A = this chain, B = another copy of it.
Amino acid sequence: MLDILSSMSDSSNALGPYLSRTRKELKLSLRAVEAQTGVSNAYLSQLENGKIKTPSPKVLHSLALKYGLPYEQLMELAGYPIPGKSQNQPSSSRLAARLGETSEEEEEALADFLALIRKRNGSEL
């Protein structure tokens, strides 16, 4: 079977490393971000290390502003439903609408297959 499933099905934790990497690219310290956003450095550390599951939209918004990242993307990475799209998995509902009725097994398989494709295309390391 696809044990890729177990490794990729939880996409909620891509947020922390993403924020961590972005901050380092901007060469900002945790306390510098705290000073500019009001989010405590302790919390930022927990966020980047995946110890916080669902940070509030307000936190995501201020980080998006400071880091120059799209707010919607952070919302989506945090697992929040976003206005124009589906709630959990990126663009899978649009795909599902195009594919018609699919079972849950098929949906999961498709989602993971998509992740696999993206990995191959080298969108990230």
Contact = CB atoms under 8 A, between A and B. Distances in A.
Contact of A103 (B72, B84, B87): B84
Nearest to A72: B83
Contacts of A72: 83
Interface of A: 54, 56-58, 61, 70-72, 75, 80-87, 93-94, 97, 103-105
22 contacts: A57-B57, A57-B75, A57-B80, A57-B81, A58-B80, A58-B81, A58-B87, A61-B81, A61-B87, A71-B83, A72-B83, A75-B83, A83-B83, A83-B103, A84-B103, A84-B105, A85-B103, A85-B105, A86-B105, A93-B104, A94-B104, A97-B104
